[in-house]
Amino acid sequence: MKQILIIKVWREEKKFKAQATGQPAFDIYAESERKFFLKVVDAKMEFNRDDKGSVVSMTLFQGGQIIPGKKIK
């Protein structure tokens, strides 16, 4: 059975946070307007936008894997 991974991303004052299913929340750091990285694990996140500039999906890069994900909210 395939596991579902949900990553919640939000802004808390001047910091951005991310929390994956069953994990604690961690700060994420901007590498560019669309690309972020974590310091606690070797992982990067890239937010993908549509033609109107709205975020529609995210790609997680971790452990040599490229994991696409769609926006659910």
Per-residue pLDDT tens over the stretch 38-70: 999 999 999 999 999 999 999 999 999 999 999
Choose between 73 and 46: higher pLDDT.
46
HSE of 38 in the Cβ direction (CA atoms, 13 Å)? 19
What local confidence, expressed as pLDDT, does residue 23 receive? Answer: 93
Q: How many CB atoms lie within 10 A of CB 43?
A: 20
Best CA proximity match to 19, nearest among 7, 31, 10, 36: 7
Amino acid letter at 21?
A: T
The residues pairing with 26 across neighbouring beta strands, listed in sequence order, are 18
The pTM (predicted TM-score) of the whole model is 0.86
Dihedral, 71, 66, 3, 32 alpha carbons, nearest 10: -40
Percentage, residues of the chain above pLDDT 90:
92
pLDDT range class, residue 3, cuts 50, 70, 90: confident
What local confidence, expressed as pLDDT, does residue 2 receive? Answer: 74
